[in-house]
């Protein structure tokens, strides 16, 4: 259900479902608060992987990496300096398989993984702090001494920018303006605002952080290495103009704009491949 909320591009007037959700969430909040909390978690923190990703087969090497929240499923191919690939909400490591083959052929080891509660990984719920912790676990496991770069997509770009600031990045369809868009999309369903903000507060307490400290914009400015961004001008889910605005402020960030590739197909595009090669050539 969360996929329909986060990836909805509707900008129309409020529908009947909005008023129904509003009435039900208000009633549940006052009459059955524990139930309301559980349903809000289920609604917002459980991604649904597409049937296409679920059915994707691969002969890449796979392994399980244990975390306190569940096992992460890793996919790897190739030998050489390591390239870590991290997907976005409701995505999976399988989204990168085509790109990973090219990376391996170019002399690198490509390592992707399914985030918690995604794909073949364990875990009951997913959220941004778990995305960040999951990626950090993979980085620590693989070691940073032979790390070439991180390739990230969508919400995965936020988790990537929250890592060590000495890492090179290829950001695909980054989600700048993340928090505002996140809040707007959720509240547009009619969900009671208090339920949403209480859930965020619970996550902040559990992980000992604030969501505002995770916003990608300040982390972009703090990153010391070269950053390549590939973003489609017609992306319906991650606004291109917010990316262009960020890029204009920094000399170490380069933007490749695409057309007609949307939010997902851009991952394995020729433009993304060329951006990767340019990043690897950068000093």
- List the domain boundaries for the chain: 59-180+214-281
Mean pLDDT to the nearest integer, 94-105: 97
CA nearest to 173, candidates 151, 193, 200, 145: 151
**Which band of pLDDT confidence, cut at 50, 70 and 90, is reported for residue 65?**
very high
Could you give the angle at the alpha carbon of 206 between the alpha carbons of 204 and 208, nearest 5°?
60
Choices 3.10.150.10, 3.40.50.300, 3.40.50.1820, 1.10.10.10: CATH for 59-180+214-281: 3.40.50.1820
State whether residue 222 is helix, strand or coil. Answer: helix
Mean pLDDT to the nearest integer, 258-265: 96
Could you give the angle at the alpha carbon of 206 between the alpha carbons of 129 and 191, nearest 5°?
75
**Which band of pLDDT confidence, cut at 50, 70 and 90, is reported for residue 75?**
very high
Range of weakest confidence among 37-51, 99-113, 140-154:
37-51
151 or 6, which is more confident: 151
pLDDT value for 1: 44
Q: Which residues does 25 contact at the CB level (< 8 Å), separation at least 6?
A: 36, 40, 190, 191, 192, 195
Q: 15-30 pLDDT, tens per residue?
A: 666 555 666 666 665 6
pLDDT value for 31: 62
Longest dimension (CA), the chain: 60
**Which band of pLDDT confidence, cut at 50, 70 and 90, is reported for residue 5?**
very low
Mean pLDDT to the nearest integer, 185-192: 77
Q: 225-259 pLDDT, tens per residue?
A: 999 999 999 999 999 999 999 999 999 999 999 99
Beta-carbon count within 10 A of 30 CB:
9
């Amino acid at each position: 259900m969360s996929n329909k909320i986060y990836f909805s591009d509707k900008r129309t007037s409020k529908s009947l479902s909005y008023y129904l959700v509003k009435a039900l969430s208000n009633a549940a909040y006052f009459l059955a608060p524990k139930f309301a909390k559980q349903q809000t978690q289920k609604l917002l923190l459980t991604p649904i992987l597409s049937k296409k990703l679920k059915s994707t087969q691969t002969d890449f090497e796979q392994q399980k990496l244990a975390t306190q929240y569940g096992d992460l499923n890793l996919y790897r191919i190739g030998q050489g300096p390591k390239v870590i690939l991290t997907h976005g909400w409701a995505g999976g490591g399988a989204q990168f398989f085509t790109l990973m083959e090219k990376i391996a052929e170019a002399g690198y080891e490509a390592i992707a993984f399914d985030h918690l509660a995604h794909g073949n990984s364990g875990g009951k719920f997913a959220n941004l702090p778990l995305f960040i912790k999951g990626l950090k676990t993979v980085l620590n496991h693989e070691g940073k001494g032979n790390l070439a770069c991180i390739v990230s997509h969508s919400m995965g770009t936020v988790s990537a920018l929250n890592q060590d600031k000495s890492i090179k990045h290829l950001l695909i369809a980054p989600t700048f303006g993340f928090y505002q868009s996140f809040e707007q999309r959720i509240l547009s369903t009619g969900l009671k605002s208090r339920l949403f903000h209480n859930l965020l507060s619970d996550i902040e307490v559990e992980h000992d952080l604030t969501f505002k400290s995770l916003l990608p914009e300040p982390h972009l400015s703090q990153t010391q290495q070269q950053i390549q961004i590939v973003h489609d001008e017609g992306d319906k889910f991650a606004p291109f103009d917010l990316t262009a605005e960020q890029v204009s402020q920094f000399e170490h960030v380069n933007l490749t704009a695409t057309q007609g590739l949307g939010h997902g197909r851009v991952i394995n595009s020729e433009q993304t491949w060329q951006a990767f090669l340019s990043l690897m050539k950068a000093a």
